[in-house]
Amino acid sequence: MYWRDRRSFEQRNAAYVSSKAFPKKGFTLVELMVVIVIIGLLSGVVTISVRSYLIRSKQNIARLEISKISQGLETFYTTYDRYPSSQEGLAVLAQSSDDFVDGIIPFVPLDPWDNPYEYVSPGRSSAYEVTCYGADNREGGSGADKDITSSELQQRGQQR
């Protein structure tokens, strides 16, 4: 049979010779898996660090908003010689009056987790207390669930 094949030796072995002389270029499955694992690890690290920045930025926004609300409460006190009662709440700061056409503050904001700030008068350690309960919207917690209060901000301000 071999003698019946009219192709030359080179023609018969062309595929074999070319595969040895010019190996196929590409990645093996193991190399691809290693790259995928490395990309997964890097994305995990980036996700964790971005999440911590987002949590801190939301907490900073809550501190700023509580500070603005506290300024509004001080303006209310200066004008009316009293703080709003707990029943009146923060909404009284946004209501128009003879003294403030657009209200003391334009609107009562929600905290960065879209929950209302809690206002209590008298507060635990001062005339009033504005509280943001964090991501879980429950008293106590740590990390993203940490409570932020106006009393805490006043103490920080006195320490500086």
| Domains detected in the chain | 27-159 (3.30.700.10)
pLDDT value at residue 159: 47
Enter the pTM of the model: 0.68
Sign of CA dihedral 131, 133, 134, 140: positive
Name the stretches of the chain with pLDDT < 50: 159-160
Q: What is the pLDDT of residues 108-153, one digit of tens each?
A: 889 999 999 999 988 787 889 999 998 888 887 787 788 888 888 8
**Average pLDDT value over all residues in the chain:** 83
Confidence (pLDDT) at 21: 58
CA angle 138, 142, 146 (to 5 degrees): 55
The residues with which 148 forms a beta bridge, in sequence order, are 132
